[in-house]
Amino acid sequence: MEQAPATRVPAKKTAAKKAATKKAAAKKAAAKKAAAKKAAVAKRVPAKKSATATAAAVGGQAAAEAPRVAGKTESHTALVRRARRINRELAEVYPYAHPELDFENPFQLLVATVLSAQTTDLRVNQTTPTLFARYPTPEDLSAANPEEVEEILRPCGFFRAKTKSVTGLSKGLVEQFGGEVPGRLEDLVKLPGVGRKTAFVVLGNAFGRPGITVDTHFQRLVRRWRWTAETDPDKIEAAVGALFPRTDWTDLSHHVIWHGRRICHARKPACGACPIAPLCPAYGEGETDPEKAKKLLKYEKGGFPGQRLKPPQSYLDAGGRPAPPLGAVPGA
Ligand code: SF4
């Protein structure tokens, strides 16, 4: 009987030892599992880059990583997350993104947007100062001599058709809306030559009403990013609109269009200098060599002036340069 305590103590010790070993093994297994999970997440979604790292990548200083997005198997939730993350990254790359047409009021923006078809915003910005100095209101432009307007608009290309469009829409503004640009989509699209794209540019930027601008850059980029497979602009607008809150729509449009103009070009996307390469299923469609890709960058990313002769202060503060007036740069 006396030996009983002596035999109980070692038994207790053995049990405690066993429990400790079990606990350590469990801890090890948990750590192993956590490491595996972390590695899997890192493989799917690379760690978020800082603004500095992102900015450094845009210049080709940091080689773009290989894409890690499996578009085909991506769930809707994952797509929403990736799309919003791309938008956030682009907001860091282009914090000064803005409409690239110079305007001082809704009428000027409406006319400039119509003139921007088949030409660059730069060329429109170089042309409109003369137009608006001579015809500052819808009344003035609707009563203008078409030949004089044609002469002013010649640098924009398709100047006869564009003269008809801007004088026609000015007439529409005078006759239907008392010479004021309406702030509603259903009214704007009643004006001759004004479609949803033009209407959303005006609503988003002159009236502060959210709108998605599905231009050629927007269409190309959202397909590259597999945000949608739609090809019809109205369907693209609906599909992309469903991925973002309405309040993001206007800025989202700027970010996408700015990226399309500066880095993700139609024919030679600069993948090797692209800050969102890790999130892009189309990485590799363009130049992947960082040094070669850097040479493809346009506007301020390539060290050149922007498109606006009068850009917002935020753009100038960030080191952006105003575009030169017409004829100041050969071939501009
Ligand atoms: S295609 Fe290339 S340049 Fe365009 S977003 Fe993807 S990685 Fe960037």
Per-10-residue mean pLDDT of the chain, 332 residues long, equals 37 49 55 45 38 42 43 86 98 97 98 96 98 98 98 97 97 98 97 94 96 96 97 96 97 98 98 98 98 98 97 97 83 44
Separation between Cα atoms, residue 316 and residue 323, nearest integer Å: 11
Q: Which atom of ligand 1 is nearest to the CA of 67?
A: 7
Separation between Cα atoms, residue 138 and residue 128, nearest integer Å: 14
Residues present in the chain in total: 332
- Residue 24 has what pLDDT? 55
With contact defined as beta carbons under 8 Å apart, do 217 and 260 qualify?
yes
- Residue 95 has what pLDDT? 97
Task: Tell me how far CA of residue 59 lies from CA of 30, 239, 301, in angstroms.
Answer: 42, 32, 7
Mutate-to-test residue for ligand 1 from 256, 280, 288, 292, highest number of ligand atoms within 8 A of CB: 280
The alpha carbon of 297 and the centre of ligand 1 are apart by a number of angstroms equal to: 12
Separation between Cα atoms, residue 199 and residue 184, nearest integer Å: 8
- pTM score, two decimals? 0.79
Q: Is the CB of 224 under 6 A from ligand 1?
A: yes
Looking at the chain, the number of H-run helices and the number of E-run strands are 15, 0
Choose the catalytic residue: 102, 121, 162, 215. 215
Task: Tell me how far CA of residue 194 lies from CA of 33, 35, 133, 188, 277, in angstroms.
Answer: 58, 56, 23, 7, 35
Choose the catalytic residue: 49, 162, 197, 294. 197
Task: Tell me how far CA of residue 320 lies from CA of 116, 121, 178, 181, 214, in angstroms.
Answer: 22, 16, 38, 31, 25
Q: Is the CB of 269 under 6 A from ligand 1?
A: yes
- Residue 50 has what pLDDT? 37
Residues 6+ apart with CB under 8 A from 79: 226, 227, 243
| Ordered alpha helix ranges (H), 135-158 | 138-142, 146-153
With contact defined as beta carbons under 8 Å apart, do 304 and 85 qualify?
no
Task: Tell me how far CA of residue 199 lies from CA of 91, 196, 235, 307, in angstroms.
Answer: 24, 5, 16, 21
Q: Is the CB of 191 under 6 A from ligand 1?
A: no
Q: Is the CB of 280 under 6 A from ligand 1?
A: yes
Q: Is the CB of 286 under 6 A from ligand 1?
A: yes
Q: Which atom of ligand 1 is nearest to the CA of 275?
A: 8
Q: Is the CB of 206 under 6 A from ligand 1?
A: no
Helix, strand, coil proportions of the chain in percent (round to 5)?
60, 0, 40
The alpha carbon of 224 and the centre of ligand 1 are apart by a number of angstroms equal to: 8
Radius of gyration of the chain (CA): 28
What is the CATH code of the structural domain delimited by 106-263+298-317? 1.10.340.30
